[in-house]
Structure 1
Amino acid sequence: MEELTRAAWRVSSRSGGQGQCVEVALTSNVVGVRDTKNRNGGTLAVAPEIWTGFVTKIKHGELDH
């Protein structure tokens, strides 16, 4: 997605800097998620409302097993 190539990618401050995490880019139309170890290996692109729902479920522990 061309829109994500210009986006600012961010890594969580909790990642620890070991390179075993994902980074996220937010735009008005799409949220991109990719592996920091392989930034050219592909990007998962989802609608912002889907990403918000996913993060909300994580925060509420709804995806814990």
Structure 2
Amino acid sequence: MNLEFRRSSYSGSQGNCVEVADAAALHAVRDSKTPEQAPLTFGRDEWGRFLDDLKNGVV
């Protein structure tokens, strides 16, 4: 699967950031310093709960 990763607009120029890619059934996360390593993947529901927790200050 060919994923198109993007960085947060809050990322600085240091290159130390998390990159995210979206696909039909999953979201993938990787460290920008090691893009050759396999990304972590999350289902849509799991990713949605994570984002909700971030917005609500749980995480």
Tell me if TM exceeds 0.5: yes
Over the matched positions of the two proteins, sequence identity in percent amounts to 36
4+ runs deviating over 3 angstroms: none
Aligned to 1:17, which of 9, 13, 16? 13
Matches within 5 A, 1:42-53: 42-53=38-49
| CA distance in structure 2 between the partners assigned to 1:48 and 1:18 by the alignment | 30
Unaligned 5+ runs, structure 1: none
Measure how far apart 1:49 and its partner are: 1.3
For 1:21, the aligned partner's letter is C
Aligned to 1:27: 23
* Structure having the larger proportion of residues in strand: 2
| TM-score normalized by the length of structure 1 | 0.81
Measure how far apart 1:14 and its partner are: 0.3
* Structure having the larger proportion of residues in helix: 1
Aligned length in residues: 59
SS of residue paired to 1:56 = helix
SS of residue paired to 2:21 = strand
SS of residue paired to 1:13 = coil
Question: CA deviation digits over 1:29-50, x for unaligned, max 9?
Answer: 1111000000012210110111
| CA distance in structure 2 between the partners assigned to 1:16 and 1:36 by the alignment | 12
